[in-house]
Amino acid sequence: MARTPPQHEITQLLAQWREGNQSALDDLYPLVYDELHRLARRYMSRERKGHTLQTTALINEAYVRLVDQKNVQWANRSHFFAISAQIMRRILIDHARRHQYAKRGGGARQVSLEEAATVVPDQSEELLRLDEALKSLAEMDPRRSQVVELRYFGGLNNEEIAGVLHISENTVTRDWNMARAWLYQQLTGSGAN
Amino acid sequence: MTPDRWQKISRIFKSAILLDNEARAAYVESQCGRDESLRVEVEKLIESHGKADADSFMNGVAAEAVAPLLTDSEARPEILNKGQRFGSYIILDSLGSGGMGEVYLARDTRLDRTVALKVLSPDISEDKRRMQRFRQEAKVASSLNQPNILTVFEFGEADGLTFIATEFIDGETLREHLHGKRLGLGEIVDISLQVLAALDAAHEARIVHRDIKPENVMLRRRDHVVKVLDFGLAKITEHKSPSAEHDSDPEAITQFRTAPGIIMGTINYMSPEQAQAHKIDERTDIWSTGVIMYEMITGKIPFSGSTTSHTIVQILEKYPVPLTKLVEAPAELERIVMKALAKKPNDRFQTAKDMLGDLRSLQKRVELDAELKQTLPLITRTQDDLWRQKKRVLVFALLGMLLVTAAIFAVNIWRSSRVSNIPPVTPAQRTLTYWITVQKFKNNNPYQDPFTLAGEINFEADYRIRVNVRSPQPGYLYILNEGPASGTPEYNVVFPTSTANNGASLVPASETILIPKTSWLRFDTQQGIEKLWLVFSEDVLAELEPVKQFASIETGGLITDPALNKSIKDLLDKHSSNKPEVEKGESLTTLKAGGKLLIYAVKLEHH
């Protein structure tokens, strides 16, 4: 299948990043992006056959494929998940954006009455708005926005998020509650900001 | 909202939501004091928290929530609509679709010019490193400013899709131009000269096109200038194989990434070295130009089988019918085309310049020759014409061509008869060529065109396959499937069955055996490596003959006799040290084993 970057390369980059080398992340990002994107597409094509899209399974698969399991330190795994959550967010947002373009088609295309009546709440639009709201949240409160990213885009559970961010699980729960309530407010327009 | 304010709200919020309604109101009020707007904001947030719960807002993960939109409309994200904005372009019209993606007529809003926009399908553009190499080559080719090479304006990405903007040629492809009509000699030579001029310039810059075919040759309407398209593009769809040219990534694994349609469309123009995924150079383009010329002259593609694999066998083995047997054509033209179509690159024109030179000389001669100057279509030869042709040949003999041509024909005819009549048998060696046809299925119906490959890819659950084998030798063939289960294997008999080869294990020489003949093999749900044992023996194998009785569609050929499974395993184990030599080509794998018995496991990984 796809040309897989050498495992040791990724493993090393992860270690360097964990040790605080930010440029390692720049090198890591495209490698992981390619792999996740490829896997996501494969999962998405399975989705057509009635399976659900399992983000965690997907990231796990990427992890197993990309990282040398023999020489890996456990802490690398959470870092891998952290970057993967970020990348999944980008992949999904790209898809949603493309979907929006495709849907808009000829710009001011006329929609027939029947068509207009069957328009359902559009998930892609909602996802794009969520992404925007999450960016605003990150400006005020980077940690809470990261919790959302890890949980909602990365599919991590609270325990894993706590491990990635070095906070307690209780804090993860509280951060999530707050962030989600605020995002809901932003998206439903019930917020007064 | 300032971060300070936000922190204040969140501090009150996190405690408040743990309280019941009454206590909560009191708590919020006590915390906010006289700051009314703070109280309102906290209360709104608490309300949102409750509603979000009730709405199951952001339950699950994003990928699940958006999954529906990733299905249908995302199946072909590269399809754009008229009027749609795409980066700084506006789509004006669709120009058609190719294997690599869709082509549009578009307006570049920055420079206000019309361009052809090729949007690569995500499958193609996924491999960033390969894309990078393609970009380099295409840019270099374009920068040569050769009038017969299509100019590339821009590579870019928009909406997550990779695109190439090139000059727009108002005209038709050579494929369209050829449709249903025969060209005159003058036009054929003129088109060929322009293609060769493009190749000559590119080859000088060490760029090999790799995919010269009528679809990649455009004829401009107003002046019939020829433009060769897609320099370097073939690079990103090429397959990799151990014998392929080395590149910067030695860890690259064999991959079949070409969409089925592409290989079907391209294969006829592939050179023998390309079809075998050997190292290729400029001379592969010489071959493909020869194929195009042959097609323009005779109206027939020289190498064309009923399947991809048959075509490949023809490319490797068959010598095309001489042009002069099919049409009235100058012998010198025949010599040029046949030289381009030499199986060995060393026997071809070594450069496009050489071929260009010979063709130009011919053109001059043709122009001098009043009879040949007419650009009437070449006439298909009939019996009546034959003696007239003889006279014409004499004319060319005066030009000193006859001896050369005759010699080449003699050699070719001798070679082709040798290929078809005398199988290249080496004593005590078994040779077996195999390839696999893959048919995707969707809802139990065939989906897209089948494609073929030499060996191992990751098979998806809905892929069904057919195994094709062929040997220059007759022999007894047995094919057994061993699933990924551990423990003592239970084999499934794949061959012989009642449908393929009429149930006999003895297969004739030089005949392609399709297994199964009319249906497909499908994988069961157990994931992992499926081994397909190919056993090819000079003598009948008593150990394996009994497998026939288990060939049944109902049981999938499962061999239920433990004793038989054991003896099969023993046989396979016993010969496991005698590994055949494996020559993996692009679409065929050839196995060669010393002795009278060849055993090889094709490993198919499936999900």
pLDDT surpasses 60 at B388: no
Q: Is A51 on the interface with B (CB under 8 A)?
A: no
pLDDT at A176: 94
Q: Out of A98, A122, A124, name the one closest to residue B159 (CB).
A: A98
Residues B579 and B462 in one domain: yes
The mean pLDDT of B331-360, rounded to a whole number, is 94
Contacts of A111 in chain B (CB under 8 A): none
Residues B307 and B288 in one domain: yes
Q: Which residue has the higher pLDDT, B319 or B237?
A: B319
- Minimum mean pLDDT range among B9-13, B104-108, B140-144, B270-274: B140-144
Whether residues A98 and B255 touch (CB distance < 8 A) is answered with no
Distance CA B72, CA B39 (A): 46
Label residue B394 by pLDDT band (50, 70, 90). Answer: very low
Residues B234 and B347 in one domain: yes
Residues B515 and B566 in one domain: yes
* Structure tokens, B270: 């592939």
pLDDT at A69: 57
Q: 3-class SS at B58?
A: coil
Query: Does residue B89 sit within a domain?
Result: yes
Q: Is B128 on the interface with A (CB under 8 A)?
A: yes
Average pLDDT, whole number, for chain A? 71
Contacts of B70 in chain A (CB under 8 A): 44, 47, 53, 95
pLDDT at A56: 65
pLDDT surpasses 90 at B191: yes
The single-letter DSSP state of residue B44 is H
Distance CA A91, CA B583 (A): 40
For residue range B274-331, what is the model confidence (pLDDT) as tens digits?
Answer: 887 778 899 999 999 999 999 999 988 899 877 667 778 889 888 898 888 888 888 8
pLDDT at B226: 95
The mean pLDDT of B385-390, rounded to a whole number, is 48
Residues B203 and B254 in one domain: yes
Q: Out of B13, B62, B160, name the one closest to residue A152 (CB).
A: B62
pLDDT at A28: 76
**How many A-B residue pairs are in contact by the CB < 8 A criterion?**
177
Label residue B461 by pLDDT band (50, 70, 90). Answer: low
Whether residues B62 and A55 touch (CB distance < 8 A) is answered with yes
**Angle B36-54/B3-16 helices, nearest 10 degrees?**
60
| Last-in-domain residue among B119, B142, B167 | B167
Write down the catalytic residue from B211, B230, B285, B358. B211
Distance CA B475, CA B506 (A): 5
Query: Does residue B559 sit within a domain?
Result: yes
CA distances for B51 relative to A79, A172, B98, B396, B458, angstroms: 33, 20, 50, 92, 46
Distance CA A22, CA A3 (A): 25
Distance CA B133, CA B232 (A): 8
Q: Which residue has the higher pLDDT, B28 or B499?
A: B28
How many other C-beta atoms are found inside a 10 Å radius of the C-beta of residue A63?
21
- Minimum mean pLDDT range among B46-55, B56-65, B85-94: B56-65
pLDDT at A143: 93
Mean pLDDT is highest, among A24-38, B55-69, B475-489, for B475-489
Where do runs of H (alpha helix) occur along chain A?
7-18, 22-47, 55-66, 74-104, 113-117, 123-140, 142-148, 158-165, 169-188
SS (H, E, C) B403-467: HHHHHHHHHHHHHHHHHHHCCCCCCCEEEEEEEEEEEEEECCEEEEEEEEECCCCEECCCEEEEE
Label residue B262 by pLDDT band (50, 70, 90). Answer: very low
| Numbers of helices and strands, H then E, in chain B | 19, 22
Contacts of B62 in chain A (CB under 8 A): 55, 88-89, 92, 127, 130, 152-153
Label residue A42 by pLDDT band (50, 70, 90). Answer: low
| Last-in-domain residue among B393, B421, B449 | B421
Average pLDDT, whole number, for chain B? 76
Q: Is B441 on the interface with A (CB under 8 A)?
A: no
DSSP string, B156-223: EEETTEEEEEEE---EEEHHHHHTT---BHHHHHHHHHHHHHHHHHHHHTT-------GGGEEEETTT
The single-letter DSSP state of residue A152 is I
Q: 3-class SS at B380?
A: strand
Q: Is A66 on the interface with B (CB under 8 A)?
A: no
Residues B373 and B233 in one domain: yes
pLDDT at B518: 66
Distance CA B416, CA B319 (A): 6
- Minimum mean pLDDT range among B19-28, B52-61, B355-364, B547-556: B547-556
Distance CA B463, CA B444 (A): 10
pLDDT surpasses 70 at B204: yes
Residues B392 and B436 in one domain: no
Whether residues A152 and B6 touch (CB distance < 8 A) is answered with no
Query: Does residue B78 sit within a domain?
Result: no
Share of chain B above pLDDT 90, in %: 17
The single-letter DSSP state of residue B155 is E
pLDDT surpasses 50 at A190: yes
Label residue A53 by pLDDT band (50, 70, 90). Answer: low
The mean pLDDT of B572-592, rounded to a whole number, is 82
Distance CA B118, CA B91 (A): 11
Q: Is B518 on the interface with A (CB under 8 A)?
A: no
Whether residues A2 and B255 touch (CB distance < 8 A) is answered with yes
pLDDT surpasses 70 at A158: yes
Residues B143 and B285 in one domain: no
Q: Which residue has the higher pLDDT, B442 or B357?
A: B357
The mean pLDDT of B97-123, rounded to a whole number, is 81
Q: What global pTM score does this model have?
A: 0.42
Query: Does residue B123 sit within a domain?
Result: yes
Whether residues B69 and A96 touch (CB distance < 8 A) is answered with yes
Residues B107 and B192 in one domain: no
- The A residues from 144 to 163 touching B (CB cutoff 8 Å) are 144, 148, 151-155
Return left, alpha or beta for B557; rule: phi > 0 is left, psi -120 to 50 is alpha, else beta. Answer: left
Smallest CA-to-CA distance from B218 within B208, B226, B206, B210 is with B226
Query: Does residue B76 sit within a domain?
Result: no
pLDDT surpasses 80 at B521: no
Total domains present in chain B: 4
Q: What is the CATH number of the domain that holds B102?
A: 3.30.200.20
Closest alpha carbon within chain B to A122: B69
Q: Is A8 on the interface with B (CB under 8 A)?
A: no
Query: Does residue B252 sit within a domain?
Result: yes
Angle among Cα B157, B160, B166 to the nearest 5 degrees reads 30
Contacts of B2 in chain A (CB under 8 A): 140
Domain limits for position B90? 85-167
Q: For chain A, what's the residue count?
A: 193
pLDDT at B455: 63
* Structure tokens, B11: 């501090």
Closest alpha carbon within chain A to B6: A140
Whether residues B62 and A123 touch (CB distance < 8 A) is answered with no
Q: Is B252 on the interface with A (CB under 8 A)?
A: yes
- The B residues from 264 to 323 touching A (CB cutoff 8 Å) are none
Q: How many CA atoms lie within 13 A of A107 on its CB side?
A: 8
Residues B403 and B453 in one domain: no
Query: Does residue B446 sit within a domain?
Result: yes
pLDDT at B553: 66
Contacts of B86 in chain A (CB under 8 A): 101
* Structure tokens, A140: 């005020």
DSSP string, B88-129: TEEEEEEEEEETTEEEEEEEETTTTEEEEEEEE-HHHHT-HH
Distance CA B563, CA A159 (A): 53
Residues facing B553 on adjacent strands: none
pLDDT at B188: 92
Which ipTM was obtained for this model?
0.75
pLDDT at A101: 60
| Last-in-domain residue among B387, B421, B455 | B421
Q: Which residue has the higher pLDDT, B130 or B161?
A: B161
Residues B368 and B236 in one domain: yes
For residues B264 and B308, the answer to whether their CB atoms sit within 8 Å is: yes
Residues B489 and B577 in one domain: yes
The mean pLDDT of B145-157, rounded to a whole number, is 87
Query: Does residue B360 sit within a domain?
Result: yes
pLDDT at B354: 95
Q: Is A120 on the interface with B (CB under 8 A)?
A: no
- Minimum mean pLDDT range among A60-69, A177-186, B77-86: A60-69
Q: Is A129 on the interface with B (CB under 8 A)?
A: no
Residues facing B558 on adjacent strands: B492
For CA atoms B104, B105, B108, B114, give the dihedral sign.
positive
| B539 in active site | no
